[in-house]
Chains A and B, each alone.
Chain A
């Protein structure tokens, strides 16, 4: 049947002759394979799920690994860092609680715009932290000493109460201690004191104060608490008044029971002086409290020398580092004359301003009234005019309580 021309019919016939191809498998096998295949269809689901889980795990782990060295830090550290992050956002808020000029205190915005107008030299966010004579005006200045969260040091915080001229400082002190926002400031919650303080009016020269604690007062419960109480009372009273003695009462009965001191009827107020001032940074802020050292120094030179290094065991940071490198100081009358190192590169920024305030506060603690930098390359640090003598502050760390 071989030929070169094929008709449709022939092709069709050939196609019809095509052999039947049989599936030799047993129908049972086919059916079994069917159910097997059904299962097989699902079997890709499992690796799929595994892959999805792996991808998920990957995304969970990668951000942690990215941190690398931070990985071993404990939870608290991590929390702290996130908190710092949060707080740096909230810093403006914290800064705004720092009162500026008395006149401008109502509006920080106005202060900012005002400084911007004044001079380009002034950095807009340089804020002085202490309270100065001209700002205190007619108001009553109250300084509260608040323990840090570790209860190692006491940090002075000052407020100004205005329009209460007829009330004594102690009345105002008692009234306002409930309004302190210690925890907002990054300090430990210590006020209001769970006791009553009264001026001993009966005493002729008015030089003692009675402190009446309730019977179940918390101050005898641990040495930290009672030391804090004695120190706080001592410092609160010494920095706000000229009173010389504290008389203790327990529920009206003379004497107080303290674990370490035994029974005490009265203590003398010790007026400590000649401290160096350091920076204390609360966890929540990069704005330092300028706070005095525990130790007293023989002269201002050794104090200023000490201020060049940190005191890590107390959590205090150097307040005179590279920002304000002091070469020499001399005293004439009530004025401190400071020479800066020749190669110093002074910057008009917040840190330098804080250093300068620490210098002013230290000078004040040594009984001086003015400070003058002889060879400053700057004309201003923040609001301070360096071309003239500057008065020492009235009180450190001004805060508002409204």
Chain B
């Protein structure tokens, strides 16, 4: 096995995988994409200048891979298939929620569902800042943004999440009330 791969795997594999998983919200896709990240890393490893840390560099590659994935998802093929396949329109999120999430408490599940409503940039910031525990500066480096852009994006994403959480709460309230009435 390649020594470079070994090193990268040991140090960062799980972080990168985690990032990709929360970005695309599907384990299989995340597994494919993490491979793609490795391929890109090997292709451009010699160009890595050490300006940023290896970790932020890997995240920036992972983010590009995820963006490419979303672009491909919205390719002409998918758009064409969407036209003929009405079943997908009815079910918005066909991806199953992984076991790791389902065993968690209600609020965690909600947050996971709410992440869907964030934009790709917002999701990336949320994942890097809170799940990966990166500082604002590191996040900015990984995304190639300014720190202030990271801050505003973070603020907006929290706002979106809050709003969605409230909606979930109301729905839940409504269901439990209904259940209460029936009883």
Which A residues have a C-beta under 8 Å from some C-beta of B? 1-6, 8, 11-12, 14-23, 25, 27-28, 30-31, 33-34, 37-38
Contacts A6-B162, A6-B165 given: A15-B1 contact, CB under 8 Å?
A: no
B29-52, CB under 8 A of A: which get 1 and which 0? 011001110110010000000000
Interface residues on B, range: 35 or more
Pairwise interchain contact B111-A11, C-beta atoms closer than 8 A: yes
**A109 to B13 alpha-carbon distance, docked (Å):** 89
Pairwise interchain contact B100-A11, C-beta atoms closer than 8 A: no
Contacts A3-B169, A19-B104, A28-B1 given: A14-B111 contact, CB under 8 Å?
A: yes
Contacts of B5 in A (CB 8 A): 27, 31, 34
Which B residues have a C-beta under 8 Å from some C-beta of A? 1-2, 5-6, 9, 13-14, 17-18, 21-22, 27, 30-31, 34-36, 38-39, 42, 98, 100-101, 103-104, 106-108, 111-112, 126, 130-131, 133, 158, 161-162, 165-166, 169-170, 172-173
Contacts A15-B130, A18-B112, A27-B9 given: A1-B107 contact, CB under 8 Å?
A: yes
**A37 to B39 alpha-carbon distance, docked (Å):** 9
Contacts of B22 in A (CB 8 A): 18, 21
Contacts A6-B166, A20-B14, A21-B17 given: A14-B107 contact, CB under 8 Å?
A: yes
Pairwise interchain contact A12-B130, C-beta atoms closer than 8 A: yes
| Given contact pairs A4-B173, A22-B17, A23-B31, a sample of 16 additional A-B residue pairs in the complex whose CB atoms are under 8 Å apart | A4-B169, A4-B170, A6-B162, A6-B165, A8-B158, A15-B161, A18-B112, A18-B131, A19-B101, A21-B17, A21-B98, A23-B30, A23-B34, A34-B5, A34-B35, A38-B39
Pairwise interchain contact B111-A15, C-beta atoms closer than 8 A: yes
Q: Which 3 pairs, one residue from A and one from B, show the smallest C-beta to C-beta distance?
A: A15-B130, A23-B17, A19-B100
Pairwise interchain contact A37-B13, C-beta atoms closer than 8 A: no
Pairwise interchain contact B165-A30, C-beta atoms closer than 8 A: no
Pick 5 A–B contacts, CB within 8 A, sort by A: A4-B166, A18-B130, A21-B22, A21-B100, A25-B31
